[in-house]
Chains A and B, each alone.
Chain A
Amino acid sequence: QQPVQSPQAVILREGEDAVINCSSSKALYSVHWYRQKHGEAPVFLMILLKGGEQKGHEKISASFNEKKQQSSLYLTASQLSYSGTYFCGTEMFGNEKLTFGTGTRLTIIP
């Protein structure tokens, strides 16, 4: 089951904040976040595991609501380099593959 991401696209000015959401209809074990710039490969940002463990970049923050099977990625004081498409990848119990969402395109303007 493909996770649903919202919004599909967002435009921010430098310095503004954004929240990107990822929802699943299935019970999740973990949520992974990646950013992909045009023409490049996805780059790892964060992993959130059931039980509260997180692994990722210090400047990126995210949450994982296990009851609602939702995750949110928080981008604060956005910089031009944050532009790209953000994908969440979800892992269900007993299945260690990731199912990626359709992405959120983030554009930062000066």
Chain B
Amino acid sequence: DTGVSQDPRHKITKRGQNVTFRCDPISEHNRLYWYRQTLGQGPEFLTYFQNEAQLEKSRLLSDRFSAERPKGSFSTLEIQRTEQGDSAMYLCASSYRTGRDEQFFGPGTRLTVL
């Protein structure tokens, strides 16, 4: 399977704990995006990378969120000091080169903060 993969698929954590999610994009894709989706809403942009460079981060994102893509391949999204409001589906997507290429989404990581 050469699609976008995400790990873990589900994460339950207690408020205040740190969590880290991993995304493996399609191998030849240079662009990688992170989104957050809550029930009944469309995906909400968090950040994106062109190779290893983080080009934009949503202004809605607090300093508790950080993402990196160290070698331009896989990416990690870390949430520090989780809050109940962080509960959501975290989606990763990749595209070939630019924002004008179709994005291929991974299955997502569902985060539940108790």
Separation of A44 and B96 alpha carbons in the complex (Å): 13
Is B20 located at the chain interface by the 8 A CB criterion?
no
Tell me the residues in window 35-55 of chain B with beta carbons closer than 8 Å to chain A beta carbons: 40-45, 48, 55
Is B105 located at the chain interface by the 8 A CB criterion?
yes
Closest residue of chain A to B98, judged by CB?
A96
How big is the B interface, by class? 20 to 34
Q: Is the interface of B mostly helix, strand, loop or mixed?
A: loop
Known: A97-B48, A97-B56. A42 touches B43 (CB 8 A): yes
Q: Report which residue of B55, B56, B98, B99 has the largest number of chain A beta carbons within 10 angstroms of its beta carbon.
A: B99
Closest residue of chain B to A40, judged by CB?
B107
Say which residue of B45, B91, B100, B108 sits within 8 Å of A30 (CB atoms). B100
Separation of A92 and B34 alpha carbons in the complex (Å): 18
Interface pair A42/B100, CB less than 8 Å apart:
no
Residues of B within 8 A of A102 (CB): 40-42
Residues of B within 8 A of A30 (CB): 99-100
Q: Which 9 A-B pairs have the closest CB atoms?
A: A96-B99, A100-B42, A41-B105, A44-B102, A87-B42, A97-B45, A42-B105, A100-B43, A103-B42
Using a CB–CB distance below 8 Å, which chain B residues touch chain A?
33, 40-45, 48, 55-56, 91, 98-108
